[in-house]
Amino acid sequence: MKRIFLGGMLFVTGFIGIFVLVILSIYNPVIFNGISGFYGFLLDSDTLLFYIISCILCVVGLIVCIIEAFLKKQS
């Protein structure tokens, strides 16, 4: 049960990071060397690495939750 909690927390942490970046990009539209939209915002604000880390956290947390919930051996 502890690993499923860890997976859930990883997922929530990654999701909050992605959500914050999306909200910030909506309120602060920028054009970076002709690149607009969400990718332009990430490049202009130097948050592309944070976005990638948040996506990885989200995916890893989801994988841990799925493994613990469905693929765990019944003892």
Q: What is the pLDDT of residues 21-71, one digit of tens each?
A: 999 999 988 888 888 899 999 999 999 999 999 999 999 999 999 998 888
Question: Given this model, what pLDDT does residue 3 score?
Answer: 87
**What pLDDT shows up at residue 75?**
53
3-state helix, strand, coil in the chain (%, to 5): 75, 5, 20
Cα Rg of the chain, angstroms: 16
Which amino acid makes up residue 19?
F
Confidence band (pLDDT; 50, 70, 90) for 15?
Answer: very high
pTM recorded for the entire structure: 0.85
Higher pLDDT, 32 or 16: 16
- Give me the residue spans of the domains in the chain: 2-69
Coil/strand/helix, residue 74? coil
